[in-house]
Amino acid sequence: MTFHDLQQRLIEDLRQRVRSGDVTERGLARATGVSQPHMHNVLKGTRLLSVETADQILRNLDMDLLDLIELQDVREFRGR
C-alpha cells in the first residue's frame, strides 16, 4: 500500500460520489478551494490532488484515511 494507492482510491471514491449524485464537481471544488475545471481534471485523471487538497476533501466528506484502506490491505501488511 502506497500513498499513491490511497490517493487513487480517494479519487475513485469521489468519482463514484459524483456519478451517484451525492456531490457535484462544482461542490467539491468550492468545498476545497480549487477551481471546477481543476476538480474535473482530477476526476478525469489528468491532474493530481495536492496533499492539502486531499486532506480538505477528506475533512469535508467526514472521512479519514482508514476509510480508504480495505481489510485485505491490512492482511497483506501483517503478512510481511
Spatial distance between the Cα atoms of 79 and 55, rounded to a whole number of angstroms: 29
The model's pTM is 0.83
80 residues of the chain, pLDDT tens digit each = 788 888 999 999 999 999 999 999 999 999 888 999 999 999 999 998 899 999 999 999 999 888 888 767 767 767 66
| Domains of the chain by start residue, with CATH | 3-78 (1.10.260.40)
DSSP 42: H
Structure confidence at residue 1 (pLDDT): 78
Q: How many CB atoms lie within 10 A of CB 28?
A: 23
Structure confidence at residue 18 (pLDDT): 96
